[in-house]
Every structure is written in structure tokens, then in C-alpha cells.
Amino acid sequence: MSEGSVEALFDEFAVAYRRGERPDVASFLARAPEGAERDGLAELIDRFLAAAPAREPSEEEVVLMQARLQQEPPLLVLRLRRALGRDAVVDALVSRLGLDPAKREKVKRYFSDLEVGVLDPRPVDRSVWDALSDLLRANVRDLAGLRVAPPAAEPAYRRFDEGFVLERRAEAPVPLDEGPDEVDRLFTGTA
């Protein structure tokens, strides 16, 4: 039985599934030879999943689905599911990261940008992810990397004495006016 054989691939998929992993069907099918063997693997996996007991979704999967349905960023949905205000999260970050309380507003701007998907999550320091994961009791880093498709731009109207004027709404990140410091390093990888 070769590495790419249908039997080996199916066994690998089934073992991973039974261990509680969430194997990606598409990646297993891509590893199978094209044609009848790939179709056979698809049929085996399909029958296996139909017969296997359904698992409870993870918290992250529930949050992601809710975020997609509401067209909201996953971190925002998670924070709201935990019934935490943004200020409570910011205060916890300042405390857990040992930051100067005078930098609270800067932390708040960065967290807000991270939460709504404006800030690139890749350079954010591990200590920030650890603090957020402890506080929100979920794999926050994975959720932050997921993007929900944004809704189409909606026109906004503003009333002037001359009538209504059509404008496009766009949210831009709040510029950080202070010089680089520990907060910048933690959220952007630069200081």
C-alpha cells in the first residue's frame, strides 16, 4: 500500500478524526491520485462522516459561524459572547502585560484595531495573545487571523441646507501620535 493510496489516506483521515482532530477533506483528496481513486476516497470519507457520531463544535467554530452570520469580526463577537466591555479587556491587558497605565488609551486603540480586523495580527506579540486567550477563554490568535467577508460599502447621506449629499463611509485606523514604545512593540513588532 503506497503513501498516496486510497486505503492509507482514508486510514490517516479516520484516525485523525477519531483523535478529535478536524482533518481537512480537501487536502486529503488533493493527495489522492486523480480519477477513480480520488473519487473512491471521497466516497469512503463521505460514508465515514455520515456514520460517525457528530461532534460538538468548538467555541471558535461557533464564534466564527456567528461572526459570518452577523458579518462582524470574530474577536468582537467573542468579546460580546463573554459579556465583556472593551474597557474591561483593555484594563486587563494593561495589567497583565505590566504596562504603564498612562498608555491605556494607546492600548485601547491598538486593541480596537485588532478586534475589528484593521491591525495585522501577525506581528502581535505572543504575550498579548496569551493574555487575551486567558481573558476570553478561546484561541484568540486563530480567530484574529480569520476575516469575515465585509459587506459592500453602503452609501451614507448627510443633510445640508442645499439638500442631501451622497458620501462614502470609510473607517480608517486612528493614527497613533506618540513615539514608538513598548505598546508599539507588543502590537506591531516595532519600537
Q: With beta carbons less than 8 A apart as the criterion, state whether 139 and 133 touch.
A: yes
pLDDT score recorded for residue 175: 46
- Tell me the three state secondary structure of residue 151: coil
Would you say how long the chain is, in residues?
Answer: 191
Distance CA 186, CA 191 (A): 9
Distance CA 185, CA 156 (A): 36
pLDDT score recorded for residue 163: 53
pLDDT score recorded for residue 57: 84
The string of pLDDT tens digits covering residues 19-75 is: 888 899 999 999 999 999 999 999 999 999 999 988 888 888 899 889 989 999 999
3-state helix, strand and coil shares in percent for the chain, rounded to the nearest 5: 55, 5, 40
- Crossing angle of helices 86-96 and 126-136, rounded to 10°: 130
pTM of the model: 0.63
Bridge partners for 158 per DSSP: 165
Where are the domains positioned within the chain?
A: 6-51, 59-151+178-188
The cell for 114 is 485588532
